[in-house]
Structure 1
Amino acid sequence: MDKATRKAKDKKDGLEWKMGNLYQKAVDALNRGKTVSEEEFVEKPPAQTQPSQVPPDPQVEQPPIQPVIQSASADPKPPKDEAKSMDGAAFSKHDAQNIPAPEELEEDLSQLKSLQDMDSQQKKPEASVPKLSEEEVFQRNRSTITFNLFFSADKMNAYIRAQNYQKGSDADNRIPTEVIYDLLKGKGVTFGIDHSGIEEYCKGRTFYKDFQAAIGSRPENGQNGTVEYLFSLDMTYAPKERDDGTVDYKELDLIRNVAVGDALCRVHQPTDGVDGMDVFGTLVKAQAGQSVEVNAGKGVELSEDGITYVASISGMVELNKGVLEVKDVYTINGDVGPATGNIRFGGAVVVKGSVLSDYAIYAGGDILINGYVESSILNSSGNIVIKNGISGTKKGLLKADGDVTVRFAEMARIVAGGSFRFDYCINCDVRVREDIIGKGKRASLLGGNYIAGRKIDVNVIGSDLNIPMDAQIIPNWQEVTNLKVKPEERLRENKELAHQFEQDYNALKRKFERIETDVARLARKNSMDTKEEAESKQKKVLVLMRQKAAIREQMSYIDEKREKLKRLSANEESMIVVRKIVHVGVRLTIGNAMMWVNDPTDHQTFINDQGLIEGHGITPGSV
């Protein structure tokens, strides 16, 4: 029940109570034999002590009270159904009907009747409205609802807006789908039509919002060409993390090394894109991607496939201001230390400063140090040149496939595939494939162990302190695994090996000769042999031939070992040249011969003469 209906009902209930109260007053007055005065018709609130004047419960529907009070009659004759009042006065319904009602009462009665009519009207069942058929609904909505078609600026979207449609929950705005299709066709819309959406839209439930009736296919522009770099462009200079979680601050990975033929980058060609179409069926061309070029510098060339750039030299790859290049020399303007970490480079390395303790350089080319080298590691596939020197404190290592050249070396390990050149060398462990050559005012070997494959040529070996040291010529020493540095141990072992090889070889040779004899015997044919005996001889011959081949292979292996031992003792070009003096305490070894220097000797060339070291005097400056 809404607010207005409840208010009307409350007013009607109040008027009914009022009429019932007035009616009771009129009846009481007539029973007393007097005419009701206007004052008595005026509504007075009933006393709370009189139960008869309590208004009826508004929740209980009261029967309508009919207006029966009229003006009093002057007729002296009472009707037959007259009645007497309690005091004996005559009173009848006729008298009650003739009681005059005041204007206020008439107004209240009029309002009460209007409310009662309204109440009865609400209680009457509504007349049923006849339901329209679908065709009638279509016909009605065709004539009332209008539709507007509009488009996006790029003609990729078509929208429909409905107007003059019915509103409300019971509105029926259904329209046939041909209304929408005719509208689209009339405007030339042919592509991207939303057929399922049109079916739903024509049910009329979403006319309050714009409907996207068609959507075009936007063109997909082509992708621009790109360059895929096959090396890291992110130089973070972050230290390397070890497997155990600790960090190595000496490995900063500052250099990106490449070898000849390594792929550096790959070019991806642009694409043409995919054409689109607007809602009118007009083709919309896609924009093709733009090509990209690689600015190749030194050490970079294009491969045969036409899209891959490779390194033409080994070194360090860089992308500097858009130029891709490979440098075969890596230059460090300061020291190698915490700022640079360890250096690993595929080409040559030039250090304008020094190499600090516990740092390393690994180079695919030469290493040039303008300053000093402390207890560090230098490993080069080429040559190593240190303009000052190295103080290794028994930890420094210089290892080169070529030559090693220093001004001085102290307590360092030096290994060279070529020669070692120096001014003076103190307490070092040096092994070179070719020569140990002292150049300079000192040209001295002072303490340590020095092994050359061909020649040692210095001014001084040893010192006045007579500290024991070794100067050795061991041809092809690099071929020996676990080379024994001490000459007496090495010579004794070589002698034992030579003897053992000789015995083993002779034993195999005798066995080989016996097998040859047995084979020759079994190979001879005998007419007295049966078929089975002949086949048995053939099988024995095959077994012996296999044994013979195995023995021959063993003999070849022993021959290789014997030859290697002979090369260690080759003396054709082996010599030790002392241009000034060799001091007491020096042990000289050439091939399989060894000699301790017991007296200071100057200006000598030492050679191996049939297992003995002999010294030959030289004229200063003659060699």
Structure 2
Amino acid sequence: MGENKNIARELELEAKSEDEARDKAISKWEKDIEVDPDLVQVELLEERSGFLGMGSKDNLYRISLDNNEANTEEIEKKLEYMEEDLAVDGDFEINFTKDGIMLQLIPPRGEGDWPGYYDIRERVEELGLKEVDWQVVQELLDELDEEEEQEPVKIAPRLPELDQDASVEIDISNDKMKVTLDYEPARGGEEITVEEIEKKLKEEGIVHGIKSDKLEEIAGSKKEIRGTVVAEGDKPEPGEDASLNYLCEIEKENIGTEREDGSINFFDRDLITNVEPGEVLVSREPPVEGEPGKTVTGEVVEPEKPKDVNLPAGKNVRVEDDNLIAAEEGQVVKKRNKISVSPVYKVQGDLNLDVGNVDFVGSVVIAGDVQEGFQVKAEDDIEVKGKVFAADLEAGGGIKINNGFIGKGKGSIKAGGDVEIKFIENGEVESGGSLIVGDAIMHSRVSAAEKIILKESGKGLIVGGRSRAGKGIEAGVIGSSLATDTRVEVGIDPGLKEKLDELEGKLEKNKQNLTKTKKALNMLEKLKEQKGELPQDKRMMELRLKKTEKDLEESRQEMEERQEELKKRAGENRRGKIKVRKKVHPGVNISVGNSSSFVKDTQDRTSFVEEEGEVRQKPL
């Protein structure tokens, strides 16, 4: 985008804030020129408000745009300010000159550290220097002063026999898709040219993807360069794996069905997908081949063969061409990644001695009651038309009991999905989804990974025992006038929340330092454009800032991966809520998240949430 010298560099605009005024002006200018936000100045001309200070009106601002070619002095002042706010470690240089071997210390910035004695000694030994005056080195380190510019100090004589020509070492990755180069600058000897580097690459068989601009940066450089990429191959374009399209709903998540009057029937969830013979359940899209690539040595790289996938044929289905088709009437189920049509096991009356215990791979429907002491296990769903008396029910899917569950202190119900029931008395219920109750939960221990909901059409009563839900509890009445010990709990694992909070703080600090570092690098780039090249101290600053930027980016990526892992474990970290439509009695212990509260007085139509580490009561 070219710069238009005739645009108005000063505008008067109405806006609610300085930031809004700045954004409006930049949007106008960017139609003609590129705008650096640092060069935009905002001045409040008139502050406006509504009648008698009520309401709000847009203020009047003047926005000015400095010349994009900002003067060098202004940029350098901004860089100096940024340097003080950055934590960048110091460094040192060892240079070969005609007067001898010179050591120059480079001061740290902000809270960064000076280079140490052993850092310098290790580098001296790598260079093979002789007759080093270590006392001079130690005295130099003892007299460090961040306020003064450090002058080069001679630490050893220059011995001609130690002079070295510039050299490069080339490394080709195992897959021949990347070439990295290590460069040693000349130590009193001959420099290396671009042509000489190109010749060495050719000798190694490198003929494709050479980065000429990188070679120009390397040739004649006074600094060591390690692991810089000087050539890259073309990676093959991947193809598309075969895929499956599921044409029927395998795992429904309905909480109920809608009646004609618009209300929700929580007992009729329509969880079973029934199919007819000949119905297509799954179709297959075949794989698509990819495009080949090329290595740095010019070899063709074939793309990985796309993965094929078979239709997931289980029981009572057939395969025709690229379609999986139902072979008989029944319920569609997914087991161990196979799609089957499962018949439903039906008990026409009560589950008693005439029937015995049930352990079935599909779904179970019992037309009567489940008598005391029996067990019912189903890999899918269980539906009981009558009551359950002190029996044990376990389902991989949902459980629906049209009447109630009388546990007598020994019966239990456990479901991987939702549980729908009329009432629970002296029993244990565990739901991997939500627990939906028509009338009451009495003196029982119940838990739900999602919500506990007591229907508005029934009593909606929770009294005695402990009711625990991951995301929320909704009831009409909690507790009793006799102050029965009743516990209701919602929330998440506090340990995971603490770890997430700590990680978010570290990420924010990383983001702030990365923003400052990038801004300083942008200012150095502008300074380079104006001067042609950077002064020695600014070149060193640029190298150190680039290293800082890389370290911060790597750290950010690691923390974000850890954050996603914790969020998954915390179930998206949702906070719970307890809602009481009618009344909560004294004697009820309320727990939300990490906080607890004891109800001392009767409260009508209220809710409980956690705010600022405390259980807070809010009216409905």
Query: Shorter chain as normaliser: what TM range?
Result: 0.3 to 0.5
Q: Which has the larger radius of gyration?
A: 1
**Higher-strand-fraction structure:** 2
TM-score (norm 2): 0.38
TM-score (norm 1): 0.38
